[in-house]
Amino acid sequence: MDLGPHAGFIIASYGLCLLTVLALIAWVRIDKANQERALKELADQGISRARPDQGRN
Amino acid sequence: MAFWDYANPTRFLKLVQVLLPWLVGLCVATFAIGLYMAFFTAPEDYQQGDTIRIMYIHVPSAWLCMMCYTVMSISSIGTLVWKHPLADVSAKSAAPIGAAFTFMALVTGSLWGKPMWGTYWEWDARMTSVLVLLIMYLGLMALWRTMDDPIKAGKAAAVLTLVGALNLPIIKFSVDWWNTLHQPASVVRLDGPTIHSSQLWPLLVMALAFTLLFFVLHLMAMRNEVLRRRVRALRMRAASVSRPATASASAQPAE
Amino acid sequence: MFQDLSFSLEQGSALVVTGANGIGKSSLLRTLAGLVPLAEGTIRLEDGEPEKLPQEQAHYFGHQDAVKPALSVLENLDFWQSFAAPSVHESFSGSSLQPLAALETLGIGHTALLPAAYLSAGQKRRLSLARLLVTPRPVWLMDEPTSALDKASEQQLLGLMNDHLAAGGLIVTATHTELALNTINVLHLEAPDPADQVPEEALL
Amino acid sequence: MTGWAMALFRRDLRLSVRIGGSAIVGVLFFLAVVTVFPFGVGPDLNLLARIGPAILWIGALLATLLGLDRLFQADREDGTLDLMLMAGRPLELVVLIKCLAHWLSTGLPLVVAAPLFSVFLNLDPVAMAAVTATLLVGTPALTLIGAIGASLTVSLRRGGLLLAVLVVPLTVPILIFGVSSADAAIHDPVPFMTPFLILCALTLIAAVVGPIASAAALRFAAD
């Protein structure tokens, strides 16, 4: 497919948009993994939402 | 009312769980159709040639960065008036997405401008006010990051968001006026040429795809934010558990 | 600030500085810590490491905790262990615990991986105290060491202080409460008679 | 021997990354300054291209100075500075390491952002490269000289403005040689290397004078 004399600009804009969207997706996923890991660590310590008044052990 | 039922964070998480796969599928499909149309069915522009294809991502991202700010403004009203926790979560998690869409609008606009106008950047009214919008987004993100207490940060950011919502139209008009003093309307305007339906359809499909993308990302980011606050609350509890631990440690004096 | 103040302290003993509020107990400690310059006079640590200043062989445990809320509890302590130079010599064998062990000793081991922002005031105080256990230094300068601590932690602190004395360390502490330390000398600071208190400017 | 230096360096980097993203705010401020200039002088791209290097340099200077007031103040407020003075480590080196960490987290992002912002000012690629190179060499000097001001104002509650007033005169030579070497690269006849090498020399001098003066000021401030 021929994009004409300015193909570079078109590819660059689509490429940069793709990168930005990928970065957003990566941010969302990494953030989710981080929070879930933190929740899991806390749950391992015996602290979770389900049992609010139970301390350690 | 269904809305208020889902305003509870736990119910909200469940709703996201159900809704998200469908939204993601729909978003991907719309993008596939939109991109196909943008590259294969849409004709070249008689004036701009193939560079018109940049429009199919430029215009939707420009629309979306405005819509995202609207979402944030409504959420800010929710934070200030109803003091609803999810409103604050919604505003906070929309900001980075809005910034990314604004960035995309600026970059694609500038890459479109170079072959058309011969320069990457022009202090033209529209571009300038979008740049100001980007600074607003980034400033809001910085404000949220700087304040520890999410409640306080949410209120401060809500005030700034609403003031910005008032200010942005003013910027738009004043910049328009400022700009026309120096530059006659020689600039090719986006809204100048009437758009043909063979170009309009791909544009609308792409706009729909971008809107879906926004909602997918926003829901995911909101879920992360709810989880983050949960972690925060649990960590506070984890730290405060120490009281009995101290007593037991002092029963056997340190060696 | 002080006039005619002189004292010496033997190895393995504690000096408790008492006196009314505002008499300058904290200033005395800060002077010993090298944080307030001496107008005249000297501070000497005999038998110490001769190439080091006295304050570089001392821990200062003041009102401020020097805890960074953005770092985790363990990161806070790790930093001080690496950053503060230890000071040991033959007659002093102070404790040099590993950071985690020090946190466990003080009963905040379970918070090690949490950001220090989540700690309560008393827990921050204990984190600050853990600093003294990870880097051995013969002299402990402690300004109101028991403030923000509950009774149990206070007992524990006394235990640690006695251990330090037993290991051949020195403690200078300013306090309002009675401290059950093994070897105590008391320095009572008193203001001179109001009649003697002539404003400095008037003397010029 | 070097363990404590790495510990300090890593701690300062961590703190600046975790607290409020000072890098983001610095770059944002830089962007704001660059954006405000065209509103002042008008959207004339030729004029902007001519004064572009100066705008970027002034933006970087202000962004650096405004970020510096927390360099020692945060440590003083929570008592960390007292302990650092007693740590038995050479204070000059401590200052140098803190400056290095501070520059990496706030100065380097400015340098990275400069080529992007120069698009707004219609700079051509040569000018873009020249300004970036001069900023890369010059901003460490701004941080190191600013550290003197930061330690002089460490005990003041609102030291930020005073810091800028104290330090701006000291940074004038850096500004002059930074902008003139960028200009030299754009307008061919003058050689680029002469002012650029002077700029490098100024940075090296700042790396010596800054920590010594700043450490001295910190010792006086601790009372």
The pLDDT of residue C4 is 67
- Measured CA to CA, the distance from residue C193 to residue D173 in angstroms comes to 58
List the single range of A16-25, B99-108, B163-172 with lowest mean pLDDT: B163-172
- Measured CA to CA, the distance from residue B213 to residue B215 in angstroms comes to 5
Global pTM? 0.81
C111 to B239: CB separation less than 8 angstroms, yes or no: yes
Question: C-alpha distances in angstroms, A54 versus A39, A49, B246, C1, C27?
Answer: 16, 10, 17, 54, 46
Contacts of C110 in chain A (CB under 8 A): 45, 56
Q: Using one digit for the tens of pLDDT, what is the confidence trace for C18-56?
A: 877 777 778 888 888 888 777 777 777 777 777 777 778
In chain C, which residue's Cα lies nearest the Cα of A46? C110
pLDDT at C114 over 80: yes
**Among A2, A6, A27, A54, the residue to mutate for chain B (most B Cβ within 10 A):** A6
Structural domains counted in chain D: 1
Contacts of D93 in chain C (CB under 8 A): none
Total beta-carbon pairs less than 8 A apart between chain A and chain B: 101
Contacts of A16 in chain B (CB under 8 A): 104, 107-108, 111
Label residue C174 by pLDDT band (50, 70, 90).
confident
D35 to B141: CB separation less than 8 angstroms, yes or no: no
What residues of D are in the C interface, CB distance below 8 Å? 3-4, 6-8, 11, 14-15, 18-19, 77-80, 82-89, 222-223
Nearest-CA distance from C152 to chain D in Å?
A: 26
Residue of A17, A24, A55 lying closest to B97 (CB–CB): A24
Chain C interface includes B166 (CB < 8 A): no
C153 to B242: CB separation less than 8 angstroms, yes or no: no
Report the sign of the C-alpha dihedral through residues B74, B77, B82, B84, in that order.
positive
The pLDDT of residue B215 is 93
Contacts of A45 in chain C (CB under 8 A): 110
More confident residue, D63 or B178: D63
Chain C interface includes A56 (CB < 8 A): yes
- Measured CA to CA, the distance from residue D62 to residue D199 in angstroms comes to 18
List the single range of C134-148, C185-199, D62-76 with lowest mean pLDDT: C185-199
Tell me the pLDDT of chain B averaged across its residues: 81
List the single range of B243-252, C92-101, C118-127 with lowest mean pLDDT: B243-252
Tell me the pLDDT of chain C averaged across its residues: 78
Q: For residue C14, give the 3-state DSSP assignment.
A: strand
**Among C76, C96, C123, C164, the residue to mutate for chain B (most B Cβ within 10 A):** C123
In chain B, which residue's Cα lies nearest the Cα of D25? B142
The pLDDT of residue B12 is 85
Q: Hey, what are B108's tokens?
A: 């694609």
The pLDDT of residue D141 is 94
* CA B45 to chain CA mean position, Å: 30
The pLDDT of residue C200 is 44
Domain C14-190 CATH superfamily = P-loop containing nucleotide triphosphate hydrolases (3.40.50.300)
Nearest-CA distance from A51 to chain B in Å?
A: 11
Burial B161-189 (b: 16+ CB within 10 A, else e): bbebbeebeebbeebeebbeeebeeebee
Label residue B6 by pLDDT band (50, 70, 90).
low
- Measured CA to CA, the distance from residue B92 to residue B156 in angstroms comes to 11
pLDDT at C202 over 70: no
Residue of C65, C83, C87 lying closest to D78 (CB–CB): C65
Helical pair D22-41 and D3-18, crossing angle rounded to 10 deg = 60
List the single range of A18-27, B222-231, D140-149, D182-191 with lowest mean pLDDT: D182-191
Residue of B54, B97, B220 lying closest to A13 (CB–CB): B54
List the single range of B186-195, B233-242, C118-127 with lowest mean pLDDT: B186-195
Nearest-CA distance from B87 to chain C in Å?
A: 25
Ordered per-residue pLDDT tens for chain D, 223 residues: 578 889 999 998 888 888 766 678 889 999 999 988 888 887 788 888 888 899 999 999 999 988 888 888 888 888 888 888 888 888 999 999 999 999 998 899 999 999 999 988 888 888 899 999 999 999 999 999 999 989 888 877 777 778 888 888 889 889 988 988 888 888 766 788 888 899 999 999 999 999 999 998 888 876 5
The pLDDT of residue D89 is 87
Which chains does B contact via 3+ CB–CB distances below 8 A? Answer: A, C, D
The pLDDT of residue B187 is 42
Contacts of B148 in chain C (CB under 8 A): 69, 117
The pLDDT of residue A52 is 45
The pLDDT of residue B181 is 55
Nearest-CA distance from B153 to chain D in Å?
A: 12
Contact B218, B94 (CB under 8 A): yes
DSSP labels for D66-83? HHHTHHHHHHHHTTHHHH
Domain extent at residue D175: 2-222
Question: C-alpha distances in angstroms, D67 versus B248, D63, D130, D146, D170?
Answer: 46, 6, 24, 10, 17
To which residue do tokens 């080091």 refer? Answer: C52
Contacts of C159 in chain B (CB under 8 A): 250, 253-254
Q: Mean pLDDT, to the nearest integer, of C173-184?
A: 75
Contact D143, D105 (CB under 8 A): no
Contacts of C113 in chain A (CB under 8 A): 41
pLDDT at A55 over 60: no
C150 to B245: CB separation less than 8 angstroms, yes or no: no
Q: Mean pLDDT, to the nearest integer, of B191-207?
A: 75
Label residue B123 by pLDDT band (50, 70, 90).
confident
- Measured CA to CA, the distance from residue D5 to residue D99 in angstroms comes to 12
DSSP C23: S
In chain C, which residue's Cα lies nearest the Cα of D15? C70
Contact B136, B93 (CB under 8 A): no
The pLDDT of residue D59 is 93
The pLDDT of residue C1 is 57
User: Do A and D touch (≥3 CB pairs < 8 Å)?
Assistant: no
pLDDT at C173 over 90: no
